[in-house]
Structure 1
Amino acid sequence: MNFLFQGRQCELALEKFGLRLYVELIDNDETQATQTANKIVKKLSSSMRAVESLVLAPAAPRLFRSGQATVINQHTSLRRTYEYFRERASNPFVIEDEVKHFGAGNGIAHGMTIQSGKQLMQLHSFHDLVASVNAYLSLLEHHMVLALPFQGFDPSKHSLEKFIGSRWGDKYAQVFDLTRKDDKRYYDRLVEVVERWRNTYSHGGFEKGHGSSVYLHYEGIGAIPVGLSSATERAGIFFMPATDEDINHVYELFDEFDAWLSDTRMRFAMEWITNELQVRFDPAFRAELAEAMETPEQFSKYVEYNAYREDLAANMDY
């Protein structure tokens, strides 16, 4: 797009490596050209607020309902985040300076003095386990949004915007069928992990039924660390944040669940997602999906074709 700004010829161009702004160079004065470019960018940025409020926002509900929306596939970046923390939790590290700093009497973790590198490694594992569970649940929520068109989701009947903003359990109940044995079994097992590791550390560190959120003062015994379940229904004693058994249990579940999704429950959706293809919600795309999913072979050809088209678009080879 060509335009004039303060007497200079300018151009906005969408190129292979992104949006570019070109400003006419007058008398080889690069400083003036840079100042002009900065003014243009500033004005464009301020005008976006008006465009959003007057044009984009009023039209958004109609576009959502008609399925005129594309969800960007962030599978790779979210998966890498999960794998990063998983690797750290499974293979904890310890630095000599840390061991020295956290020597006996200098540091306390969950009421325990760190006396060795092994205890410090356990603390690292605990932190990274919590981070990896958060990352995995974020990845799962993303997958469930991307899987909607493959599950017969119709944005004219159900709110895509509301679904995106809902809790992970509500998403699961809409994408899966909790009356089916496997769907319900995996849901219950995921809830157990979420309640222990994610919700606890997303809500101020107060654990539900598993850990040392609170110390209760038992007469004749002393202060005992307990977990909370519906405030006072159950008290469970908990002394160590995360053992190797805890870590292995979580990741074995995640691996089993991933395999079930890819091999059985959401085979077509996961094939599309792991090929890093974007997901549209318009009627034409949903109709194409329904036809392509008639056989695995036909769907794989459809994925290959769309991957080729996205590569052409990314490389601007029209």
Structure 2
Amino acid sequence: MRTIDWVDGAVEIIDQTALPDRLTVRRLHGVEELVAAIRTLAVRGAPALGVAGAFGVALAARLHEGDPVATAAAVHLVENARPTAVNLALGARRAAARLPEGPDAVLATALAVRDEEIAAAAAMAERGADLLAELCPPRPRMLTHCNTGALAAVVGGTALGVVIELHRRGGLGAVVASETRPLLQGARLTSWELGQAGIECRVAVDGAGPFLMARGEIDAVILGADRICANGDTVNKIGSYAHALGAHRAGIPFIVVAPESTVDHHTATGADVEIEDRGPDEVLGFRGTATAPASAGAVNPAFDVTPYDLITAIVTDRRVVRPALGERV
């Protein structure tokens, strides 16, 4: 099953807010529906958001054919549904470039974005597994953060796709999935995906990761990115930076896996990236239940920046870059 796809004139997604309790497929017929799904994280993950952006423009082209003002407004809405991940706006703009040729041309480009992400996932899995075989002891014990499997892409995934490929080769030791606050995307989604693949995993609170590394229980950290800056800084789910510091101190590889489409040569460093703050509710409660007193405030950055010199390697579908050794993307 694909995380996101175009089916009979509508966008179909796996609703990630329902997991792991229910596997629910939603059909989205309008641009506003799709934008709401993006903002509520029913569909999320850099590659999946790139496809969602392109499909959103395809919906706009069909729904507002002959009305360029309404089409432009809908495209703007899609592009700006979330600010930090580069793939969303990139996919939308790529599809929008075909608007003068009509809805069929726009859809053809959107489907091409989807197919390229599928191919990229397969290439990253192979290249990443090869790299880990080079850098790690046999059957490495991996720590991963947030969710980077098929749910974050279309199929396969990024970092979790590498983990699953290692398992397929018989070369995986163990997996620790950090729970990934505040929405528990590691505990809810990554552990579910690993279970679907027949891979056992242990869930750890985010703060335990660096200590597990220091205690010698982790051989490598592997995670994704929502944006890779021109200097090699990576932007990923909040908590990634702490894991990078832990890996650096423990002397183990810190590997970022993301498609080439996530590389943003127009953004010089991580300091130039707008970091989405998702408001207090996700920190002060969970699924409608308050976990903090009403008087408490919160700060909720959805992402953080890992400096390039803490990154052992960036694996894309086309290449391996080693920022800590001075290589630039």
TM-score of the superposed pair, with normalisation by structure 2: 0.24
Structure with more contact order per residue of length (Cα contacts < 8 Å, sep ≥ 6): 1
More strand by share: 2
TM-score of the superposed pair, with normalisation by structure 1: 0.25
More helix by share: 1
